[in-house]
Structure 1
Amino acid sequence: MTDQPKTETGRISRRGLLGASAAAGASVLAAPAVAQEQATLEWKMVTSWPKNLPGPGVTAQRIADRIELMSGGRLRVRLYAAGELVPALGVFEAVSAGTAQMAHTASFFWQGKIPASVYFTAIPFGLLPHEHITWIEQGGGQSLWDELYAPFGLRPVMAGNTGVQMGGWFKREINTLDDLKGLKIRMPGLGGEVMHRLGATPVSLPPAELFQALDSGVLDATEFLGPWSDRAMGFQKAAKSYYTPGFHEPNGTGEALFNKVALEGLPEDLGAIVLEACKAENGRSLAESDWENAGALKLLQEEDGVTVRPYPDDVLDALRETSAVVLSEFASKDALSQRIYDSHMAARARLAPWSDVAMRRFLEARDS
């Protein structure tokens, strides 16, 4: 017995079945079409780093990749390394103008136009990485950062961390304060100003030019990041004295810059994905940097003939005292700079006793 098509009273007619099949087919075809249309959204990310530079270059690419993955391909970020679309130190203007939707860089590069920007990477004798993150997320740092960049149409966020920095590569030993006089050194941020006050000559150069400058004698010394990135840059071939501590950069926060109109124009879920991709990189890159720095330091000493040297005590004392003066002067430039300085110092005062009790004492006990 052959079943008859069901009628409208409870059965589906042949015409209805065909119509339903057609509708189902149309919906199947429509879904990929929508996904394909959404996948065409593309952003440009300009960076201040050589492509895939260990540390910040790797971080920038990982953020771009994670955004595409988390968005299911709806937002693709094409990364342009330093010099490919704009110069390394031109990324701020590029994102502000809308030439690119985002950048990966470091805030201390903008000291010339907005002096207080240095606080959002690191300042001399300032916060350690975990303390800095705490200030930004819990101590009001993010709202001040947003306010500082708002006139440029930018939204800044933390986007990776290269950890505690080293003090730099020197072609000759530093034994006394007099050894700093006339020293041509690349040290951005307020650390460079501190060195200047003590008689050195700071030289501003983008990362890609540092090795050649050090090797050729344009520079007598340079700092960059830590052993992992520094060894990849080849500094050990041009200098053999590697100084510690990195008084000028006790923290290495990377900065993602967003064109505010572009960020706010994203659908809500894509905007959240972009910000969360940057946030996730803070922990991952910090762990990676600590691990890789430890291995690279061993190689520098055992295979490359590098000597790790501490700054002499009297030099460190002078650096500390001069840093306090420089920081105070920078704070007085305008009301917002003063508020940022006050907030940062309040965070240091709150966190330092806990870091001392929880970390310094433990390390002394563990490693003694």
Structure 2
Amino acid sequence: MDRRSFIKKAGVAGAGAAAATALAAPAIAQENPKFTWRLTSSFPKSLDTIYGAAETMAARVKEATGGNFEIQVFAAGEIVPGLQAVDAVSDGTVEMCHTASYYFWGKDATFQLGTATPFLMNSRMQNAWFIEGGGTDMLNEFYNTQGLQAYPCGNTGAQMGGWFRKEINTIEDLNGLKMRIGGFAGKILAKLGVAPQQIAGGDIYAALEKGTIDATEWVGPYDDQKLGFNKVAKYYYYPGWWEGGAALHAMTNLGKYNELPEHYKTILQDACYFGNASMQARYDMKNPAALKQLVADGAVLRPFNQDVLDACYAATQEVYAEVNAANPAFKKIYDSQLAYAKDAYLWQQLSEYTFDTYMMIQQRSGKL
């Protein structure tokens, strides 16, 4: 080969490689643009498990995008109060929030169904319905009408029934009771004489201590111990029939969500689902020890008796009938959840229930 020809060809090739390198950097930058979003939580930092799900999600997004998509997490009250989180997202004050959808059921009862459907699904069923049953897509049909796009980002599992200053032995004991209770459940209990109050998590203790309320529910042992409810109310009831599983959502302003590159949308969705799983895992690890400590400190565990549960169940069916008749969006989603739950309980009574019951018998007999 002619030496001068070789050098000339090599020079052309080198120039081409340099041009490709020059083009690669801006092309990558275009594919991975920088976004900095703000997320307002409905929860205080002190509740590290429920607040922490948003931090977990945000960290995953940042890592997966090489720091190009950053979501800054703010506690309730740092930008807006916790119960104004959805408004702040829909009006564009912030790009995202992390909240319980049912806090906003007063806007539209359909918001309830994103968090918990009283006397229906447990958390395992919820996740199956969200992911494999089309639930997330169905909810987003509704959320989109509110200027939102949302994905599950946390679950508490089945919750406790709450803290009461007095025992609840009959339906009459509920009459006139002032109770902090979130979402749709207050509408149900109002049929039984309860005066429901919706109070943000960080404000509940003061209300209970001052006697502004007679009872409260929040989540379960780990959070309730942190909030100190056992210091101002003695009786700790179960189960929280209004929250067989309580799902949290990361909600995004729909316009801002649609500005994201498609692979950023996928990363955000995957990060939300990771936050969803990790939050319940944390509660499942932390609740047992917290419950033992609460009992050691004087909390008195009480189950709601059958008469109380039956009355609450009947009131719940009345409310469903009323809302379904008036709200087509609610009915569409509720009917999907109900159809799935009917089949899911057929399976779980054979699998989870029988296995769990046997193992609990071993535990109670000291063999486990």
Say yes or no: TM over 0.5. yes
Segments of 5+ residues of structure 2 without an aligned counterpart are 362-368
C-alpha distance in 2 between matches for 1:273 and 1:339 = 29
Q: Does the 8 A contact of 2:36 with 2:71 survive in 1?
A: yes
C-alpha distance in 2 between matches for 1:28 and 1:309 = 70
Q: In the TM superposition, what is the alpha-carbon distance from 1:35 to its structure 2 partner?
A: 6.0
C-alpha RMSD of matched pairs (Å): 2.6
Q: Does the 8 A contact of 1:92 with 1:103 survive in 2?
A: yes
Q: Does the 8 A contact of 1:185 with 1:222 survive in 2?
A: yes
Q: Does the 8 A contact of 1:144 with 1:340 survive in 2?
A: yes
C-alpha distance in 1 between matches for 2:209 and 2:268 = 39
Identity of aligned residues (%): 37
Q: 1:39 to 1:267 in 2, by over 3 A?
A: closer
C-alpha distance in 2 between matches for 1:229 and 1:7 = 78
> Corresponding residue for 1:3?
none
* 3-state SS of paired residue (1:287): helix
> Corresponding residue for 2:174?
180
* 3-state SS of paired residue (1:332): helix
> Corresponding residue for 1:312?
305
1:361 aligns with 2:357: no
Q: Does the 8 A contact of 2:150 with 2:252 survive in 1?
A: yes
* 3-state SS of paired residue (1:160): strand
1:232 aligns with 2:226: yes
Q: In the TM superposition, what is the alpha-carbon distance from 1:330 to its structure 2 partner?
A: 1.5
> Corresponding residue for 1:328?
321
* 3-state SS of paired residue (2:80): coil
**Cα offsets for 1:130-182 (capped at 9, x unmatched):** 10111122223223211111222211211111111000011111121111111
For residues 204-243 of structure 1, the aligned pairs below 5 Å read: 204-243=198-237
* 3-state SS of paired residue (2:36): strand
Q: In the TM superposition, what is the alpha-carbon distance from 1:71 to its structure 2 partner?
A: 1.1
**Cα offsets for 1:84-128 (capped at 9, x unmatched):** 111111111111122111110011111101102111111221100
C-alpha distance in 1 between matches for 2:110 and 2:104 = 9
> Corresponding residue for 2:134?
140
> Corresponding residue for 2:345?
352
Q: Does the 8 A contact of 1:54 with 1:232 survive in 2?
A: no
C-alpha distance in 2 between matches for 1:135 and 1:30 = 42
Which of residues 251, 260, 282 is equivalent to 1:257? 251
Segments of 5+ residues of structure 1 without an aligned counterpart are 1-5
C-alpha distance in 2 between matches for 1:89 and 1:295 = 30
Q: 1:136 to 1:38 in 2, by over 3 A?
A: closer
Q: Does the 8 A contact of 1:186 with 1:223 survive in 2?
A: yes
C-alpha distance in 2 between matches for 1:120 and 1:347 = 15
1:88 aligns with 2:82: yes
C-alpha distance in 2 between matches for 1:25 and 1:282 = 45
Whichever residue aligns with residue 78 of structure 1, its letter is Q
Q: Which has the larger radius of gyration?
A: 1
> Corresponding residue for 1:115?
109
* 3-state SS of paired residue (2:72): strand
1:162 aligns with 2:156: yes
Q: In the TM superposition, what is the alpha-carbon distance from 1:37 to its structure 2 partner?
A: 11
* 3-state SS of paired residue (1:10): helix
Q: In the TM superposition, what is the alpha-carbon distance from 1:31 to its structure 2 partner?
A: 4.6
Whichever residue aligns with residue 153 of structure 1, its letter is G
Which of residues 93, 97, 106 is equivalent to 2:91? 97
Q: In the TM superposition, what is the alpha-carbon distance from 1:306 to its structure 2 partner?
A: 0.9
Whichever residue aligns with residue 317 of structure 2, its letter is A
> Corresponding residue for 2:364?
none
Which of residues 2, 9, 13 is equivalent to 2:5? 9
* 3-state SS of paired residue (2:6): coil
* 3-state SS of paired residue (2:77): coil
C-alpha distance in 2 between matches for 1:307 and 1:9 = 92
Q: Does the 8 A contact of 2:182 with 2:198 survive in 1?
A: yes
Structure 1, 28-37 or 114-123: larger mean CA deviation: 28-37
Whichever residue aligns with residue 340 of structure 1, its letter is I
Q: Does the 8 A contact of 1:35 with 1:74 survive in 2?
A: no
* 3-state SS of paired residue (2:340): helix
C-alpha distance in 1 between matches for 2:263 and 2:18 = 28
Q: Does the 8 A contact of 1:54 with 1:228 survive in 2?
A: no
1:244 aligns with 2:241: no
* 3-state SS of paired residue (1:55): helix
Q: Does the 8 A contact of 1:211 with 1:235 survive in 2?
A: yes
Q: Does the 8 A contact of 2:104 with 2:112 survive in 1?
A: yes
1:276 aligns with 2:270: yes
Q: In the TM superposition, what is the alpha-carbon distance from 1:231 to its structure 2 partner?
A: 1.3
C-alpha distance in 1 between matches for 2:342 and 2:134 = 15
